[in-house]
Structure 1
Amino acid sequence: MQKQYDKDRLLSLPKILKDFYKEEPHIKNMSHEEVRQIRKENNNIIVDAPDGESDCVPNPIRTFEDAFRHYPLILEQIKQQNFVKPSPIQCQSWPVLLQGKDLIGIAQTGTGKTLAFLLPALIHIDSQPIPREQRVGPSALILSPTRELAQQIEMEINKINYRGIRSICVYGGGNRREQLEKVKKGVEIVVATPGRLNDFMMNGKINVKHVTYLVMDEADRMLDLGFELEIKKVMLDIRPDRQTVMTSATWPPEVQKLAEQYMTKPYKVFVGTLDLAAVHSVTQYVEFVDEKEKKSMLLDFISNMTEDDKLIVFVGKKMVADDVSSDLAMNDVQCQCIHGDREQCDRETALEEFKSGAVRILVATDVASRGLDVKDITHVLNYDFPNHIEEYVHRIGRTGRAGRSGTSLTFMTRNDWKNAQQLIDIMSEANQIIPDELVAMAERFSSFKQRNGDERKSSGFGGRGRGGGGGRGRRRNDDDIGNFWI
């Protein structure tokens, strides 16, 4: 039924052009050894082609000219940004996307994923057969899990001035009337969080029926925050023959299923290990504490900061963020605070003061673990251990960016013992020193699980139990419940 509906709908829509890649002869004629070496040098890129297309994988590029020699305006914009060379995800993704293929990009945050899907999007938008002024609604849609990340993407778009292509960022918590006014004026790119986008679509304010280039950015985070239903609603209205890009920092079964549902023969580009990994430019430390010691230890840490240091303190709950920031203020420590309950204008002010250096300490929930691009952050302190180990990786990835080094410190209490082994795995992969106490904590939890399992078996109970655990949660965490700003 759905297939027939999609087929009938396509008959009434204009044709899409997707292939704009003009491969340079020296790229096309690379030997297999050259290709292998380039991928190895660029964080061990792995390319997984769809069935039957293993011989069609384009070779990686080395320079911006290799990808955009025939698009001088794009090259001009790249040079104005003072980029030195393509990042690993870019050097393999651009040839795939410029050919019009669907792409899944698996790489850590802060590795150039935004530019990887943005530059091909600009060329795609400008090169369609229907003139831009005759199109109804946007040509490109970028879905983002949080407003911070959505705003960060819009900032990157605004840095690239290509043929007057216009964009808008729509998200809950922002001025709805201002967003609607911009939509009415006409834009080619919409960057949106799922909640606000569905609001505008249901009220007939945004028409996505002519979107031909779709990006699902940080797909794993969108699923973690429970936006699968909102994504499905959006997909109902977008033409099925679009070009689709998905980015993710991890590759769990839920994200794989999403890709299978909404992508057509996607090429997968993995940068680095397929397992979860932290950036190696961050030195990781662990401190074992009692819950009541955290505040005094945080103050001790801050007292030892230098004038050039900049710190993010990550906490688990909004009330803790308010509590910690208030305590710091009472101790004459200037800081800012962001979490899901703060007004949008307050959050923007907090981020601006942190970026500018007006304050050097930011207390935040995990709304800041992705999409926050402040290159001079020197330290990350995990006041509370995150709910998922993926968020640990994203948190500490806020430092050690753009070729710099950084330091992370994590407070661990007895209640965090279930996370010990995963933390050991992350630290071990990044060649960090593993504290003996962390190893002992992991061993105690392993023994506890085994003992508890044996007791359940002997008592005749099995399975998941009443809590029904297992897998990645679908419930929005404490920072997101009841907030429709995302």
Structure 2
Amino acid sequence: MWTDECWDDDVTDDQPAPKKAAPPPASSYEAPRFSEPRSNYRQERDSRYGGDRRGDGGRPSGGGGGGGGGGERTYRGRNNDSKADSVTIPIPSNMVARVIGRGGATVRQMREESGAKIDVDSANGQGTVRISGSASEVEAARKAIDDLLNSSSYGSDNGGQRYGQGGNSRFRDSHRSDSPRGGGWSQPSREYERSSSSSYSTHGGGSYNNATEADDKFEIIDWNALNKASDEASRERWAKCPPLTKVFYRELEEVANMSPAAVAAFRTQSNNIVVDRTFKNENGESGRPIPNPVQTFAQAFGDYPDLMEELRKQGFTKPSPIQSQGWPVLLQGEDMIGIAQTGTGKTLAFLLPAFIHIEGQSTPRSERGGPNVLVLAPTRELALQIEKEVSKYQFRDIKAVCLYGGGDRRAQMNVVRKGVEIIIATPGRLNDLVQEGVVNVSSITYLVLDEADRMLDMGFEPQIRKVLLDIRPDRQTVMTSATWPDGVRRLAQSYMHDPIQVYVGTLDLAAVHTVTQHIECLDEEDKYNRIMQFVKHMGPKDKVIIFCGKKTRADDLSSEFVLSDIGCQSIHGNREQADREQALEDIKRGVVRILIATDVASRGLDIEDITHVVNYDFPRNIEEYVHRVGRTGRAGRSGTALSFVTRSDWAVAAELIKILEEANQEVPDEIRDMAARFAAKKERNDRDRRGGGGGGGGGRFGGGNNRRW
């Protein structure tokens, strides 16, 4: 289908491929022209290297060279030497960024001033600088590199200096009156004035020392003492908290007496439950034993008949896999990380133990100083869904409130002030009310980070960490996620205590196997006709979510549907909260059968009877694809996912192939061809970067201006 030799990823359909300017021939290079004295040029150039425009962004470096930079440096422009020369200089890997400079400014300037070709590379922990050109050019470039490497940073023991700036120095602007601009316009140049207080003394191997009296005023910071004082202050703060009870589990004999083989067989049959301590100790051991899974509600909540009655009212017959293993872990007071695909009962897995945790505390509710349970969710829709789930269970007058941006702030504050046991919130609104003094999170003893991977993707990590600083450290923490990226692992390692990881299925990214996945490769301009064709062939009981990449696209598509007399609703971040809630209500009740959405609806939303998902715009990463597809085929039902793929989506083709093959789905030949082309283009770009070459350009996949399918 695609016949281009190679494609380029930075050209859109409506934009012609940019033409790459041909480099000038080597013989056309001209030496820098100096309209002012040579010494002034050197001083101005040195000020650029050593002053405010340093290549390392102006930050003092912790390293220090030995050779004592800051001496006088002279650079010659390119001469007419015809003899080519080259040299390779090894440099520490931590100096690569400094040689390159911010945005490549430092190496670019050295190339211009020396006339040599300078390439910087870093591999296997060792940096190298390759210099080529005439002998004089190579020597000038080598000297510039040496000066840069040998200049020491501020605050070093020998009072060192930066490249082109030593000791106590200042720059004084002067203005030339002979500027070619005329009319009184003056062009600033800089005169370098070195303070007489700096002195250089040679020690041993030719190093320099320009230490000043200011060095004697530095105080040594006793970090051990500071850390000890901080720990002591933290202990004093949290010592005032009410006592905390976390263990409520009474393991029945029939559960405790299960043989290891029976436990392993049950876990394998329950969608391959895998459970283990997330972080091993120094000996690689798992620590305390992990409780066996439960197979009935009575085995978990037999001591709470009123909660059992609530479960019967909801029509549940047996626990889901994540609940079977998660309930014993949480009721035993352990921190837990639950990893499972959406629609597997994760919400109820942490919610019912939260009820028991609230009721089981020895301190009366009126004396706890605030709520006990905090559930953080990434989106308003997910937070409201969790609140709705809480409201289904009337357990001992436990009250909850949902705090989210876009809702009635004053009403939310009034509910909190009246007293609640559970707060369900998005990070932004929670931090807002904490700063206002409305919410006191120091009373939280049971913390849930729901859809943690999604919260990190949305940039909430700083806000999450800010909240966690004010929650007592001996709390019980639960984290749920559909994937296990490095960010989630890092968060768990920082804020959880020896957590037990329970995951259902596999840690590898995989779409729900009850969903049939269809991939169609087409041009951007053909999408609208194809979606109209799909809608016209929908069955009377079909419900579909159509995912768009942008809010404007969602609005445009919904407008086209309305003009075509097709009933639909839309949901995205720019819609008012009331409109978003109405859209969800309409699709759930069947008022409309089409919901057009952005990725705000791709996680956590529980619309059970969605039969189809259409990726009108293919998502930017494969994780989002998995979550979109997971909106259908929920709770054991079957579903269908249809995805439109254009050539601009070639970067995710290889990962899409893995998802399709894992689920035994058909992979179109066009997708395999797309993946191969992208891999070839990536390899070619990497090779060009390593070799410093420019490489040819053109079309989306490198095929010149003729972009063909």
Normalised-by-shorter TM-score class? over 0.9
Identity of aligned residues (%): 58
Contact 1:48 1:268 in 2 (8 A): yes
- Which of these residues, 426, 439, 456, is aligned with residue 223 of structure 1? 456
- Which of these residues, 531, 542, 549, is aligned with residue 298 of structure 1? 531
Contact 1:6 1:239 in 2 (8 A): no
Deviations 1:33-73 (A, max 9, x none): 00100110111111122535445100111111111111111
Displacement of 1:15 in angstroms is 1.1
Secondary structure of the corresponding residue to residue 293 of structure 1:
helix
Q: Distance in 2 between matches of 1:364 and 1:110?
A: 19
What is the correspondence of 1:68-467 to structure 2 with a 5 Å cutoff?
Answer: 68-459=301-692
Contact 2:276 2:286 in 1 (8 A): no
Amino acid at match of 2:612: H
Aligned to 1:465: none
Deviations 1:215-268 (A, max 9, x none): 001110000000111111111111000000001111111110000111111111
Q: Distance in 2 between matches of 1:3 and 1:98?
A: 30
Contact 1:310 1:378 in 2 (8 A): yes
User: What is the aligned residue count?
Assistant: 461
Amino acid at match of 1:165: I
Task: Indicate yes or no: 2:274 matched with 1:41.
Answer: no
Mark the runs of 5 or more structure 1 residues left unpaired by the alignment. Answer: 462-486
Displacement of 1:427 in angstroms is 1.2
Displacement of 1:5 in angstroms is 3.0
Q: Rg larger in 1 or in 2?
A: 2
Q: Distance in 2 between matches of 1:57 and 1:286?
A: 42
Deviations 1:271-305 (A, max 9, x none): 11111111101000001111111111110000000
Amino acid at match of 2:473: P
Amino acid at match of 1:10: W
Displacement of 1:3 in angstroms is 3.2
Q: Distance in 1 between matches of 2:258 and 2:237?
A: 42
Deviations 1:299-354 (A, max 9, x none): 00000001100010001111111111111111111110110010001111111111
Secondary structure of the corresponding residue to residue 241 of structure 1:
coil
Moved more, 87-96 or 7-16: 7-16
- Go from structure 1 to structure 2 and tell me whether the alpha carbon gap of 1:55 and 1:134 turns closer, same or farther (over 3 Å shift): closer
Secondary structure of the corresponding residue to residue 386 of structure 2:
helix
Contact 1:220 1:249 in 2 (8 A): yes
Q: Which has the higher contact order (CA 8 A, sep 6+)?
A: 1
Contact 1:6 1:240 in 2 (8 A): no
Displacement of 1:420 in angstroms is 0.7
Contact 1:374 1:398 in 2 (8 A): yes
- Go from structure 1 to structure 2 and tell me whether the alpha carbon gap of 1:398 and 1:422 turns closer, same or farther (over 3 Å shift): same
Displacement of 1:133 in angstroms is 2.0
Q: Distance in 1 between matches of 2:503 and 2:287?
A: 15
Displacement of 1:209 in angstroms is 0.6
Secondary structure of the corresponding residue to residue 457 of structure 1:
helix
Displacement of 1:457 in angstroms is 1.5
Amino acid at match of 2:400: S
Displacement of 1:10 in angstroms is 2.2
Secondary structure of the corresponding residue to residue 362 of structure 2:
coil
Contact 1:125 1:139 in 2 (8 A): yes
Please state which structure has a larger fraction of its residues in helix. 1
Secondary structure of the corresponding residue to residue 687 of structure 2:
helix
Aligned to 1:481: none
CA RMSD of aligned residues (A): 1.2
Amino acid at match of 2:251: E
Aligned to 2:126: none
Q: Distance in 2 between matches of 1:3 and 1:344?
A: 43
Moved more, 325-334 or 376-385: 325-334
Q: Distance in 1 between matches of 2:260 and 2:290?
A: 12
Deviations 1:423-461 (A, max 9, x none): 111111111111122111111111111122112222169
Mark the runs of 5 or more structure 2 residues left unpaired by the alignment. Answer: 1-226, 695-709
Secondary structure of the corresponding residue to residue 272 of structure 2:
coil
Q: Distance in 1 between matches of 2:561 and 2:469?
A: 48
Q: Distance in 1 between matches of 2:567 and 2:317?
A: 36
Deviations 1:152-171 (A, max 9, x none): 11111111111010000000
Q: Distance in 1 between matches of 2:288 and 2:357?
A: 24
Displacement of 1:6 in angstroms is 2.7
Aligned to 2:70: none
Contact 2:335 2:477 in 1 (8 A): yes
Q: Distance in 2 between matches of 1:410 and 1:268?
A: 33
Aligned to 1:479: none
Amino acid at match of 2:315: N
Moved more, 203-212 or 54-63: 54-63
Displacement of 1:96 in angstroms is 0.5
Secondary structure of the corresponding residue to residue 156 of structure 1:
helix
Q: Distance in 1 between matches of 2:233 and 2:668?
A: 59
Q: Distance in 1 between matches of 2:264 and 2:514?
A: 25
Secondary structure of the corresponding residue to residue 209 of structure 1:
helix
Secondary structure of the corresponding residue to residue 636 of structure 2:
coil
Q: Distance in 2 between matches of 1:114 and 1:455?
A: 50
Contact 1:107 1:248 in 2 (8 A): yes
Displacement of 1:136 in angstroms is 1.2
Give TM-score scaled by structure 1 length.
0.93
Secondary structure of the corresponding residue to residue 459 of structure 2:
coil
Amino acid at match of 2:359: D
Contact 1:144 1:194 in 2 (8 A): yes
